[in-house]
Amino acid sequence: MIPEAGLSAIWLAAALSLLGLFLSIAHVRGKLEADRPVRALAMVQGLLCLIAFAMLVIVFARTDLSVALVAENSHSAKPLIYKIAGAWGNHEGSMLLWVTVLGVSGAALAIFSRQLPSRTLVAALGAQAALALGFHAFLLFASNPFARLDPAPLEGRGLNPLLQDPGLAFHPPTLYLGYVGLSVAFSLAVGAMLAGDVDRQLARAMRPWVLGAWIFLTLGITAGSYWAYYELGWGGWWFWDPVENASLMPWLAATALLHSVAVLAARNALKAWTMMLAVIAFSMSMVGTFLVRSGILTSVHAFAVDPTRGAFILGLLGIYVTAAFVLFAVRAGSLREGAPFELVSREAGIVVNNLLLTVILGIVFIGTLYPLMAEALSGEKLSVGAPYFDSVAGPLAILLGILLAFGPLLSWRQEKRPIFRKLALPALCAATALVIAFLAMPQASILSRLGLALAAGLIPAAILPLTGRNPLRTPLATWGMVIAHLGAAVSVAGMAADSAFTTEKLTAVRLGETVDVGPWLVRFENVSPVAGPNWTALEAELRASRGGGVHVLRPQSRFFTDPPTETNEAAIQTVLGGQLYTVLGQADQEGRWQLRLWWKPMVTLIWLGGMLVGLGGLLALIGHSMRVWRRRRAASL
Amino acid sequence: MIARPKHQRLVLVVLALLSVLGAVLLAMWGLKDRAAYFYTPADVVAGKAVAGKAVRLGGMVERGSVKRDRDGVTTRFMVEDGEARVLVSYRGILPDLFREGSGVVAEGKLAPDQTFVADNILAKHDERYMPPELGNQAAEHKVGQTLKR
Reported pTM: 0.92
> Do residues A28 and A122 touch, judged by C-beta distance below 8 A?
yes
Mean pLDDT by 10 residues, chain A (637 residues): 94 97 93 92 97 96 90 83 86 92 96 89 96 96 89 76 71 90 96 92 94 96 90 86 91 97 92 94 93 66 59 92 94 83 90 96 95 83 89 95 92 81 90 92 90 96 89 90 97 95 93 93 94 88 90 90 77 93 89 93 96 97 89 81
- Neighbouring CB atoms inside 10 A of A547's CB total 7
Q: Is there a single domain that holds both residue B29 and residue B49?
A: no
| C-alpha dist (Å) from residue A69 to A168, A289, A335 | 19, 20, 48
Look at B93 and A337 and tell me if their CB atoms are within 8 Å.
Answer: no
Q: B49 burial class (0-12, 13-18, 19+ CB within 10 angstroms)?
A: buried
- What length does chain B have? 149
**pLDDT (tens digit, 9 = 90+) per residue, A597-616?**
999 999 999 999 999 999 99
Look at A384 and B31 and tell me if their CB atoms are within 8 Å.
Answer: yes
Q: Is the predicted pLDDT of residue B135 greater than 60, yes or no?
A: no
Q: Is there a single domain that holds both residue B68 and residue B101?
A: yes
A-B contacts at Cβ under 8 angstroms: 152
Q: Is there a single domain that holds both residue B44 and residue B10?
A: no
Q: Is there a single domain that holds both residue B30 and residue B48?
A: no
Q: Is there a single domain that holds both residue B82 and residue B49?
A: yes
Q: Is there a single domain that holds both residue B30 and residue B73?
A: no
| Res A123: pLDDT | 96
Residues of B in contact with A384 (CB under 8 A): 31, 34-36
| Res A471: pLDDT | 83
| C-alpha dist (Å) from residue B75 to A565, A622, B62, B71, B78 | 22, 55, 13, 9, 10
Mutate to test the interface with B, among A263, A270, A301, A392 (most CBs of B within 10 A): A392
Look at residues A530, A534, A613 and name the one whose alpha carbon lies nearest to residue A571.
A530
Mutate to test the interface with B, among A388, A592, A595, A597 (most CBs of B within 10 A): A388
Residues of B in contact with A594 (CB under 8 A): 72-73, 93
| Res B4: pLDDT | 56
| Res A350: pLDDT | 95
pLDDT tier at B138, thresholds 50, 70, 90: very low
Alpha carbon distance A496, A501 (integer Å):
8
Q: Is there a single domain that holds both residue B25 and residue B58?
A: no
| Res B25: pLDDT | 95
User: Strand pairing partners for B68?
Assistant: B75
The boundaries of the domain holding residue B119 are 37-148
User: Strand pairing partners for A601?
Assistant: A578
| Res B87: pLDDT | 95
Alpha carbon distance A473, A618 (integer Å):
18
> Do residues A250 and A288 touch, judged by C-beta distance below 8 A?
yes
Range with top average pLDDT, A148-152, A511-515, B101-105, B129-133: A511-515
Look at A385 and B27 and tell me if their CB atoms are within 8 Å.
Answer: no
User: Strand pairing partners for B13?
Assistant: none
Alpha carbon distance A41, A38 (integer Å):
5
Q: A528 burial class (0-12, 13-18, 19+ CB within 10 angstroms)?
A: exposed
Q: Give how far the C-alpha of residue A496 lies from the chain's centroid of Cα atoms, to the nearest Å.
A: 21
Å between B30 CA and nearest CA of chain A: 6
Q: Is there a single domain that holds both residue B45 and residue B64?
A: yes
Å between A192 CA and nearest CA of chain B: 19
User: Which amino acid, residue A291?
Assistant: L
pLDDT tier at B100, thresholds 50, 70, 90: confident
| Res A227: pLDDT | 86
Look at A508 and B96 and tell me if their CB atoms are within 8 Å.
Answer: no
**pLDDT (tens digit, 9 = 90+) per residue, A141-183?**
988 999 988 888 877 777 666 667 777 678 888 999 999 999 9
Domain boundaries, chain A: 1-164, 193-332+345-409, 418-495+607-637, 503-601
Q: What is the CATH number of the domain that holds B65?
A: 2.40.50.140
| Res A306: pLDDT | 63
Q: Is there a single domain that holds both residue B1 and residue B43?
A: no
Q: Is there a single domain that holds both residue B6 and residue B75?
A: no
Å between B38 CA and nearest CA of chain A: 5
For chain B, the domain total comes to 2
Alpha carbon distance A289, A179 (integer Å):
9
**pLDDT (tens digit, 9 = 90+) per residue, B4-36?**
556 788 888 899 999 999 999 999 999 988 888
Q: Show Cβ contacts of residue A589 under 8 Å, excluding neighbours closer than 6 positions.
A: none
Q: Is there a single domain that holds both residue B27 and residue B47?
A: no
Å between A381 CA and nearest CA of chain B: 5
Peptide bond into B5 cis (omega under 30): no
Look at B94 and A565 and tell me if their CB atoms are within 8 Å.
Answer: no
pLDDT tier at B124, thresholds 50, 70, 90: low
